[in-house]
């Protein structure tokens, strides 16, 4: 059975002003394109992008105007070349339409077709006459296109789940009156999962916030994968622990910390190292941050002055061991008697690292962020 995809859905609807660019060939600005492309593969957040049809038509009008501004320059080029390029208004309109279609398809932007039968036209007329938002106050009535963009947004909202744990709906506009109009309707409809964003920075901030929120299911699924990526045993030299030479880096960067002795100790001997489980720290966009602790275990010793009984036995034992191989058993016996185990402990280090959650729920692009010395814990024996 296929695993159910984690995360929520974000539906983003653009008004005209955040899309605007002076480039005649582009439906949306370069920044909007970058935002859409960059956020196309989130593992725990599916983003849908929308432009109301009336906004698309407004952008086409703006693009045709911009293209028309280029015609005088083309006429000059024709005179220079002595050749008629035959650029007509019909050709410009056709090319604008083709460019819009390509942009929508390439960026996977959906258009919202307004169902005019569902619009409360009496309310629209009343707002227009009384100059209520999104209509501007003044001698000339202005705001019809904004009203239709707002209506398109709410028709989409009526088709989506009204639960912030499943779905977030955002309307992006820089127009204050349109913002006021949409906000007044949000309070009575999609107030819990609806958002009004005043610009592209707020779009990026909302996305970063949503993809940084993780649940226990996410952590439990990827924690085991992260642990295997960091260390799976001495046989796997492709693990991050070996590839980044973590042991050597700790020995080199923390040489002084590794010499910290407990009270009354004069020396210590290594008892090996242990590598803990990967601990989830945070998630920023597609990069997940982990912390793995490494414990260096030691036994600490001191040399003690032997008492009279030990001195007497030391005079007897050499005679008993006189037939032993020189420099072996006798030497070892003296060493063991002189060294006293006074404490056991560990030096704790933390490796802070991160990885990317990619397609097919795989962890890739692992890198070390930092290695920190945490503490030295000793227990007397």
In a domain, 255, yes or no: yes
Stretch 245-269: mean pLDDT, rounded? 92
Task: Select from 155, 185, 212 the last residue of a domain.
Answer: 212
235 against 173, higher pLDDT = 173
What's the pLDDT score for residue 45?
87
Domain co-membership, 99 together with 114 = yes
Domain end call among 212, 229, 261: 212
Write down the pTM of the prediction: 0.65
The number of residues making up the chain comes to 381
Q: Which of 212, 246, 279 is the last residue of a domain?
A: 212
Domain match, 162 and 274 both:
no
In three-state secondary structure terms, 189 is: coil
- Same domain, residue pair 198 and 311: no
Same domain, 244 and 206: no
Structure token pair of residue 57: 């038509």
Given this model, what pLDDT does residue 296 score? 95
Query: Is the model more confident about 75 or about 307?
Result: 75
Q: Is residue 41 part of a domain?
A: yes
For residues 63 and 104, the model is more confident at 104
Q: Based on the domain organization, do 337 and 290 belong to the same domain?
A: yes
Answer yes or no: is 190 within a domain.
yes
For residue range 165-181, list pLDDT tens digits in order. 889 999 999 999 999 99
* Domain total of the chain: 2
Whole-number average pLDDT of the chain:
85
- Which pLDDT value is given to residue 333? 47
Cα dihedral 145→147→151→153 (10° resolution)? 70
User: What is the separation of C-alpha 83 from the centre of its chain, rounded to a whole number of angstroms?
Assistant: 54
Residue burial 47-60, b: 16+ Cβ < 10 Å; e: rest:
bbbbbbebbbbbbb
Predicted confidence (pLDDT) per residue in 102-149, tens digit: 999 999 999 999 999 999 999 999 999 999 999 998 877 789 999 999
pLDDT of residue 65: 86
Q: How far apart are CA 13 and CA 16, in angstroms?
A: 10
Beta bridge partners of 227: none
224 and 190 in a common domain: no
Q: What are the two backbone dihedrals, phi and then psi, of residue 347, each rounded to the nearest 5 degrees?
A: -100, 125
Residue 303 in domain: yes
**How far is residue 363's CA from residue 18's CA, in Å, rounded to a whole number?**
34
DSSP letter assigned to residue 120: -
> Is residue 3 assigned to a domain?
no
Q: Are 56 and 111 in contact (CB under 8 A)?
A: yes
Q: Are residues 128 and 179 in the same domain?
A: yes
Q: Between these two residues, 320 and 151, which has the higher pLDDT value?
A: 151
Residue 2 belongs to a domain: no
254 and 367 fall within a common domain: yes
Contact 275, 364 (CB under 8 A): no
Q: Domain range holding 352?
A: 216-380
Give how far the C-alpha of residue 80 lies from the chain's centroid of Cα atoms, to the nearest Å: 53
Report d(CA 53, CA 148) in Å as an integer. Answer: 9
More confident residue, 336 or 88: 88
Q: How much is the average pLDDT of 265-270?
A: 91
In a domain, 1, yes or no: no
The residue that leads in pLDDT, 33 or 141, is: 33
* Same domain as 140, residue 22: yes
DSSP-H helix ranges across 231-359: 240-243, 246-253, 308-320, 329-338
In a domain, 192, yes or no: yes
Do 325 and 373 lie in one domain? The reply is yes
Clarify whether residues 190 and 78 are in a common domain. Answer: yes
268 and 374 inside one domain: yes
């Amino acid at each position: 059975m296929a695993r159910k995809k984690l995360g929520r859905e974000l539906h983003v609807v653009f008004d005209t002003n955040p899309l605007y660019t002076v480039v005649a060939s582009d439906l949306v600005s370069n920044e909007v394109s970058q935002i859409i492309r960059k956020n196309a593969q989130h593992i725990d957040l599916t983003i849908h992008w929308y432009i109301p049809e009336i906004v698309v038509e407004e952008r086409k009008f703006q693009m045709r105007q911009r293209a028309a501004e280029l015609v005088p320059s083309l006429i000059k080029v024709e005179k220079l070349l002595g050749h008629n390029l035959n650029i007509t208004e019909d050709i410009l309109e056709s090319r604008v339409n083709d460019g819009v279609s390509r942009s929508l398809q390439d960026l996977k932007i959906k258009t919202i077709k307004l169902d005019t039968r569902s619009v409360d036209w009496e309310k629209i007329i009343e707002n227009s006459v009384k100059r209520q938002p999104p209509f501007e106050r003044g001698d000339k009535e202005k705001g019809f296109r904004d009203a239709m963009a707002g209506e398109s947004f709410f028709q989409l909202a009526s088709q989506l789940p009204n639960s912030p744990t499943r779905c977030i709906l955002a309307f992006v506009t820089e127009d204050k009156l349109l913002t006021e109009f949409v906000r007044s309707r949000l309070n009575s409809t999609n107030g819990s999962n609806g958002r009004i964003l005043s610009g592209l920075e707020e779009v990026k901030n909302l996305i970063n916030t949503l993809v940084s929120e993780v649940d226990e299911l996410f952590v439990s699924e990827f924690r085991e994968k992260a642990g295997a990526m960091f260390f799976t045993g001495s046989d796997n030299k492709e693990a991050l622990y070996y590839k980044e030479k973590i042991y050597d880096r700790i020995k080199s960067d923390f040489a002084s910390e590794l010499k910290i002795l407990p009270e009354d100790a004069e020396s210590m001997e290594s008892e090996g190292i242990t590598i803990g489980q990967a601990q989830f720290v945070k998630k920023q966009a597609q990069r997940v941050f982990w912390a793995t602790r490494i414990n260096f275990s030691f036994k600490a010793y001191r040399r003690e002055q032997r008492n009279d009984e030990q001195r007497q036995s030391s005079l007897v034992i050499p005679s008993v061991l006189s037939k032993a191989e020189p420099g072996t058993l006798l030497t070892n016996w003296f060493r063991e008697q002189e060294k006293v185990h006074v404490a056991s402990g560990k030096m704790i280090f933390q490796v802070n690292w991160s990885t990317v959650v990619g397609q097919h729920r795989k962890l890739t692009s692992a890198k070390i962020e930092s290695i920190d010395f945490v503490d030295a814990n000793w227990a007397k024996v």
